[in-house]
Amino acid sequence: MTQTYVQEFWETYSEKPKLSFTLQGTYSHDDLNKLDMIDDELLEYLIWLNSPKMRNETMIVIMADHGPRGHALTMTRQGTIELRRPMMNIMMPPWFKTKFPKAWENLLVNSKRLVTTLDLHYTIKSLLSLQIMDLDTVPVLQNLPPGLTMFAPMPKGRTCAMAQVQSHYCACKNVKEVSTAPGSKHSDILHKLAKDVIVELNKRVQSWLLWCVKEMPAYSRFVKAMETKVDNKTGLLPNADSYHPFCREWSLEKIERAHLIVASKGNQTKLDDDELEESVSLQYELTIVARPGPGHFLATVWHNPVTNKSTVDVYYFSRMDWFSPHAKCIERVCPSLEKYCYC
């Protein structure tokens, strides 16, 4: 239906400038194996996109918002990298290479650089000014804006921090796997951090749920309990399961994998093991398994070994397994909570 709508929209306004942004992930989002159900339809759509009239007057971008998740590969280190590296394909009109050779050359080179969706925004916007743009000067690393056009040269040393990509979503990190076994060097801090992740997860579930149902009379008992009975030290509502019919509380089952990451000014610093251990600003990336479910989470947490203080924030958590079947109770009441909820 979406593909038909795009075709009709394009043909109806064939003589007018236009932009179409459409989502095509219905079949493949939950299960890649379902994609073959629309093979013929998808092929017809791609043939239409590649037709002479479309190609001659259209910039076509086919992209994803994240890599594959919710299957066995996601639970591996390689899977977490793939998750953070979504596909982006750009097709320009055949004449573009001849009319704007430098922009075309830069586009090819930048396909090997760190690129973000904000860069795509600036790239589309820059189509209006390609005639007058400086397509030769490489921007200075120290003064980079957060978004760059892909038609101009991008600096090779650009980092996630420079592109304003949060560390949790950055695939360009110096990583060292650390043992989670009892008695190992990092064991105590890892288990403390994992428990902190669970506490933060439960706290956010309760507070977000309160925000969603606060004006709903049917949940007044839960709202009243949240306003009067939350523990001041933990920020949690004791026996929360008895107050609302939605999400169950999470508990830690195990740490499946842990990595130590250097939190430096850039994200491509290479340090030896001794320097890594002595770095004051450390990040850990934990893959944890939580009950019920089980639910698999990837969390980026910060720990300062000098002050022994840690920072845990749910905004740096990713759900690694597919959560939809276990979050039906919340999908209409509080859809933003789905990936953190087990009904």
Say what the pLDDT of residue 243 is.
60
The Cα 87–Cα 56 span in angstroms is 23
Amino acid identity for residue 329 in this structure? C
Q: What is the pLDDT of residues 70-97, one digit of tens each?
A: 667 777 778 788 888 888 999 999 999 9
Residue 45 has pLDDT above 80, yes or no: yes
Of residues 249 and 227, the one with the higher pLDDT is: 249
Q: What is the pLDDT of residues 46-75, one digit of tens each?
A: 899 999 988 999 999 999 888 777 667 777
Say what the pLDDT of residue 220 is.
74
Domain spans, the chain? 2-167, 176-340
- Reported as a pLDDT band with limits 50, 70 and 90, residue 269 is very low
Cα of 180 vs its chain's centroid, Å: 26
Of residues 60 and 212, the one with the higher pLDDT is: 60
Residue 271 has pLDDT above 60, yes or no: no
| Secondary structure E strands in the chain | 60-63, 88-91, 175-177, 251-262, 282-291, 295-304, 309-311, 317-319
- Reported as a pLDDT band with limits 50, 70 and 90, residue 275 is very low
Q: What b/e readout covers 215-253, taking b as 16+ CB neighbours within 10 angstroms?
A: eeeebeebbebbeeebeeeeebbeebeebbebbbbbebb
Q: What is the pLDDT of residues 180-207, one digit of tens each?
A: 888 888 889 999 999 999 999 998 888 8
- Reported as a pLDDT band with limits 50, 70 and 90, residue 171 is confident
Say what the pLDDT of residue 184 is.
87
- Reported as a pLDDT band with limits 50, 70 and 90, residue 276 is very low
